Structure 1
Amino acid sequence: DDFPLFLVDSAVPKLERLQISDNLATSSCSLEKKDKTSPIRRPDNGGTLAVLTRTLRVNHFPVKFNPDSIIFHYNVNVKSKFSSKVGQPRKLSNADLSVIREKLFSDDPERFPLDMTAHDGAKNIFSAVQLPEETITVEISEGEDEKITLYSVTLTLLNKLRLCKLMDYLCGHSFSLPRDILQGMDVVIKENSNRCTISVGRYFYPTNPPLVMKELRPGIIAVGGYHHSLKPTSQGLSLCVDYSVVPFRKQMSVLDFLHERIDNFNVGEFEKFRKYVEEVLIGLKVSVTHRKSQQKYSIVGLTPTATRYVTFPIDYVKGWKLEKEVSLLSFFNDKYDKDIVYKDIPCLDLGKGNKKNYVPMEFCVVAEGQRYPKERLDGVSAKTLEAMALAHPSERQGAIQKMVQSSDGPCG
């Protein structure tokens, strides 16, 4: 369970202990003639004949791999077609590309085995098996009653990454670092963490269960996570794992969030707190509970009137042939069999552009994985976060070991 022990060169107090061979110039010259791009070797076996050794506990873990293996590197070209309903092609985000890739692979797992591939979140897929090079149409629905969008996905083989080249470099038989292989392996080793944790930049934050979690203030939590990368060393390939702590907004119902974030908040006196509610909520992302949907919506505002008075044009109700204006109360009752409890508070406006999307607050949940700015923490919360980030070495070691052993981690 302990960290692996690495040998680290220490400073040699007496330089005269170094013995430089007399035929250094000859060997260097012959090496230069043989390959002008090769670096000159250090004398004295790289300075190892006069080395003092010390053992250190480090956050590097040895990585074993099969040098006979091949990783197939594919380019993924995704183009949005016209929606099956009204809509125009739009620029795809990395999150969109990940959803499309997972749908493609889940639709045809025999030809596209998800567990044998890794995606960098953009246009690159690395696979342990060969994949079909063809154009396939993928249908994506953002949720129940949402529009279906068609995408054409084309896979093109770019390269075959032979791991024997990396082994040659690690063994000293080659002086050129195969960066393309290292980058491909790095994507592969991050695939599990990408699927199972909250990804923020280069860091991953497990929440189910959390690695480390502590409440900083009402509605705000500090979550421990990790960053890992592959490093070629003189002792072989290593996985470097480091520790990080970041404040997040807590995943909870919007109404509970308001009770935690606003002092003395009272639903019965909502208009008294409207200004504070808008300051706390606008810009946050939420998910909805009244229907099946994986989509996250940004809060753009509140309705000016209470929920019981909210109506919208029939154009926004797909397929309905009723009166010109539809009551939100009757719509949720008839369409989703939901009886709205809090009728005297505003709805959230989750629309985009000119399109309105009114949803009662009781059916909205603060989405997971939303960072809270550190500069907005009060003094006590900031000190708590700092203490978690600057953990004692033994605590840091325990956290890193837990990350590596976790099913959500790089080795899961």
Structure 2
Amino acid sequence: MEFQVKKPRGGNQAKNRGPRPNSGNKTSASVHGPDTRGHGQRKELNQSEVTRNDHNENKKQEVVPQPIAGCITDPLPSKLDSLQISTAKPLNKLVPMQRPNQTKTSRNQSINILVNHFPINYDEKGRILHYEFKVELEKSTAEISKADFSSIKHKLFNSRKDLFPSSSIAYDGHRYVYSSIQLPVGQFKVESHRKIYVATIEYKKELNLSKLKGSPVSREVLQGLDVIIRKDSALKKFAIGRNLYSKGANHSYNLGRGIIALQGSHQTTKSTELGLMLSVDDSIMPVRKPGPVLKYLQENLRIKFTENVKLTETQRLAIEYALEEVRVSVTHRKEQSKFTDFSG
């Protein structure tokens, strides 16, 4: 390899030039001329050094990985060497869920399930007569409360049991009456609390039980049958709304403060694929413990009533709030009266 030294143009001073870029595996070198500061020194290259550098450049360079500071360089556990990456299954195919039991030993085993649905047996040729019951004050257009409405109906039916036998009549608690026999229609006068009420019974239609087999099931027939079934269940229980609760202390729980929890049920007639069913659900309702008013107030408000007790304004307001919308029966009169308003 030969090197040539070119003299710079323009006198003894030479311009400084940077090194030329490498081209392939060849080595290029540049020799600077005399130092501009006047030292006049020249850098000479030995032939052996140039040969050694050219030999090292022609060698194939190998990259040796070097550890990075702060990284863990320990080899992976030997158990991971046997792991393989599985190929993904195609997602455009629906695969059925596998059965939990693959041994094929209990597929035909049957189990019993307890449900709250009970089948209803009825005569498809039977019928239900639907009536509407109305109550109004004589010579007055004042609105009648629900309690007075029920009281007039109860008094009329009990006074004329020959015309309204209780075993053949079911009342929905509002204005509809369902019966298995024909009832007299028209107006009937009933006297209660020195007031005269006019009760009107109007025939609506005949409901045939054969319509319970159709699709869809007649809602009117289903509603009438539901009222009759609830009325039969209420003979041994008492109704609060659409719920039925058992009588007696064995079916109640004392919650304290004059409050007890009644255990009962909520039943509904439903039409299913297996036929007509009676759905029965458990129900728990807190109510006030029946008994004397003063005893209830003593338990509820923790107030002791003595002969010379004087109530404060706070206690008086608490008593009014505790007796709000509470039905109280008076027992010291021949005719029982019920009060729900204690203001004033």
**TM-score, normalised relative to structure 2:** 0.62
Deviations 1:169-220 (A, max 9, x none): 2xxxx322111110000111112455664433321223x3256211111311
Pairing 1:206-225 to 2, within 5 Å after superposition = 206=246, 208-210=247-249, 212-225=251-264
In structure 1, stretches of 5+ residues that fail to align are: 1-11, 15-50, 83-87, 142-146, 302-348, 350-412
* Match among 254, 259, 263 for residue 298 of structure 2: 259
- Rounded to whole Å, the distance in 2 between the matches of 1:58 and 1:278 is 49
Identical counterparts, % of pairs: 32
- Residue 131, structure 1, aligned to residue 170, structure 2: no
- Residue 96, structure 1, aligned to residue 148, structure 2: yes
- Once the 2 structures are TM-superposed, how far is the Cα of residue 155 of structure 1 from its aligned partner? 2.0
- Rounded to whole Å, the distance in 2 between the matches of 1:222 and 1:92 is 31
In the other structure, the counterpart of 2:332 is 290
Pairing 1:118-267 to 2, within 5 Å after superposition = 118-139=170-191, 141=192, 147-166=193-212, 169=213, 174-193=214-233, 197-206=237-246, 208-210=247-249, 212-263=251-302, 265-267=304-306
- Rounded to whole Å, the distance in 2 between the matches of 1:176 and 1:131 is 30
- Rounded to whole Å, the distance in 2 between the matches of 1:58 and 1:236 is 15
**Given the superposition, is the C-alpha separation of residues 67 and 60 from structure 1 closer, same or farther in structure 2, using an over 3 Å criterion?**
same
- Once the 2 structures are TM-superposed, how far is the Cα of residue 160 of structure 1 from its aligned partner? 0.7
In structure 2, stretches of 5+ residues that fail to align are: 1-95, 99-107
In the other structure, the counterpart of 2:20 is none
Look up the SS of the partner of 1:296 in the other structure. strand
- Rounded to whole Å, the distance in 1 between the matches of 2:327 and 2:149 is 20
**Given the superposition, is the C-alpha separation of residues 178 and 266 from structure 1 closer, same or farther in structure 2, using an over 3 Å criterion?**
closer
- Rounded to whole Å, the distance in 2 between the matches of 1:120 and 1:160 is 17
8 Å Cα contact 1:228-1:242 kept in structure 2: yes
8 Å Cα contact 2:294-2:305 kept in structure 1: no
- Residue 61, structure 1, aligned to residue 157, structure 2: no
Largest Rg, 1 or 2: 2
Pairing 1:82-93 to 2, within 5 Å after superposition = 82=139, 88-93=140-145
Equivalences, count: 239
**Given the superposition, is the C-alpha separation of residues 98 and 266 from structure 1 closer, same or farther in structure 2, using an over 3 Å criterion?**
closer
Deviations 1:228-256 (A, max 9, x none): 11111222211111111111111121222
**Given the superposition, is the C-alpha separation of residues 158 and 215 from structure 1 closer, same or farther in structure 2, using an over 3 Å criterion?**
same
Q: Which has the higher contact order (CA 8 A, sep 6+)?
A: 1
Give the counterpart letter for 1:76 in structure 2.
Answer: F
- Once the 2 structures are TM-superposed, how far is the Cα of residue 272 of structure 1 from its aligned partner? 4.9
- Once the 2 structures are TM-superposed, how far is the Cα of residue 288 of structure 1 from its aligned partner? 1.3
**Given the superposition, is the C-alpha separation of residues 164 and 213 from structure 1 closer, same or farther in structure 2, using an over 3 Å criterion?**
same
Look up the SS of the partner of 2:309 in the other structure. helix
In the other structure, the counterpart of 2:136 is 79
Look up the SS of the partner of 2:113 in the other structure. strand
In proportion to residue count, which structure has more helix? 1
- Rounded to whole Å, the distance in 2 between the matches of 1:101 and 1:258 is 33
8 Å Cα contact 1:211-1:223 kept in structure 2: no
Pairing 1:289-368 to 2, within 5 Å after superposition = 289-301=331-343
8 Å Cα contact 1:227-1:244 kept in structure 2: yes
Look up the SS of the partner of 2:279 in the other structure. strand
- Once the 2 structures are TM-superposed, how far is the Cα of residue 80 of structure 1 from its aligned partner? 1.5
- Rounded to whole Å, the distance in 1 between the matches of 2:118 and 2:176 is 26
* Match among 90, 94, 114 for residue 166 of structure 2: 114
- Rounded to whole Å, the distance in 2 between the matches of 1:154 and 1:184 is 20
| Comparing 154-163 and 195-204, the one that deviates more | 195-204
Pairing 1:18-57 to 2, within 5 Å after superposition = 54-57=111-114
In the other structure, the counterpart of 1:276 is 315
- Rounded to whole Å, the distance in 1 between the matches of 2:151 and 2:201 is 16
Deviations 1:105-161 (A, max 9, x none): 22222222222011112221110001122222222x2xxxxx322222222221111
**Given the superposition, is the C-alpha separation of residues 216 and 80 from structure 1 closer, same or farther in structure 2, using an over 3 Å criterion?**
same
Deviations 1:50-95 (A, max 9, x none): x99653101111211111111000122322214xxxxx55312333
- Rounded to whole Å, the distance in 2 between the matches of 1:186 and 1:223 is 23
8 Å Cα contact 2:297-2:303 kept in structure 1: no
Give the counterpart letter for 2:126 in structure 1.
Answer: S
Look up the SS of the partner of 2:290 in the other structure. coil
**Given the superposition, is the C-alpha separation of residues 116 and 210 from structure 1 closer, same or farther in structure 2, using an over 3 Å criterion?**
farther
- Rounded to whole Å, the distance in 1 between the matches of 2:145 and 2:237 is 19
- Once the 2 structures are TM-superposed, how far is the Cα of residue 295 of structure 1 from its aligned partner? 3.1
Give the counterpart letter for 2:338 in structure 1.
Answer: K
- Once the 2 structures are TM-superposed, how far is the Cα of residue 290 of structure 1 from its aligned partner? 0.9
